């Protein structure tokens, strides 16, 4: 069964592109365009992995990450921050808040897939 990945990002065009990349590598993809929708989707579906943007209206990605890591039913879901926000020290702040990995946009597809597979505890997918 394909691992289910939840993408939380307010950029619909980016979601579409990233969904295609992940689906072409055998993942099942869900998408949410706001932090609030992402929280609801996570609680309803319990995805294997969450890929989360930081800059969104309403709840920020950091707030979403923090809330998910504080809930016992979602604390063990790996969270990969994938953001254009490359402010110095932002990666450390995200990891301190519970994120499991941090990559910046634009991303290298091979690096993204390696990181996903590491977080899922899987061998690399071709």
CATH number at residue 61: 3.40.50.2300
For a pLDDT cut of 70, what percent of the chain falls above it?
Answer: 90
**Does any domain span residue 125?**
no
Q: Alpha-carbon distance 62 to 99, whole Å?
A: 9
Domains contained in the chain, number = 1
Report yes or no on 13 lying in a domain: yes
User: Is residue 103 over pLDDT 80?
Assistant: yes
**Rounded mean pLDDT of 31-44?**
95
**Residue 122, pLDDT score:** 63
- Judged against a pLDDT cut of 90, whether residue 29 lies above it is answered with yes
pLDDT at 61 over 60: yes
Residue 106 confidence (pLDDT) above 70? yes
* Calpha distance 9→71 (Å, rounded): 21
Q: Is residue 16, in this structure, part of any structural domain at all?
A: yes
pLDDT at residue 124 greater than cutoff 50: no
CA atoms within 13 A on the CB side of 61: 27
Give the domain range for residue 107. Answer: 4-119
126 pLDDT more than 70: no
Higher pLDDT: 89 or 38? It is: 38
Q: According to the model, what pLDDT value does residue 5 have?
A: 97
pLDDT at 125: 46
Q: How far is CA 3 from the centre of its chain?
A: 13
Has residue 8 been placed in a domain?
Answer: yes
In a domain, 126, yes or no: no
């Amino acid at each position: 069964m394909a691992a289910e990945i939840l993408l939380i990002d307010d950029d619909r065009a980016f979601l579409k592109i990233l969904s295609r990349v992940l689906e072409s590598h055998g993942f099942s993809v869900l998408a949410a365009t706001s932090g609030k929708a992402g929280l609801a989707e996570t609680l309803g579906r319990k995805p294997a992995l969450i890929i989360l943007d930081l800059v969104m209206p309403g709840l920020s990605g950091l707030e979403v990450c923090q809330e998910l890591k504080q809930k016992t039913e979602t604390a063990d879901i790996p969270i990969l921050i994938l953001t254009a926000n490359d402010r110095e020290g932002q990666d450390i702040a995200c990891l301190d808040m519970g994120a499991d990995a941090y990559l910046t946009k634009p991303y290298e597809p091979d690096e993204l897939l390696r990181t996903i597979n590491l977080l899922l505890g899987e061998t690399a997918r071709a």
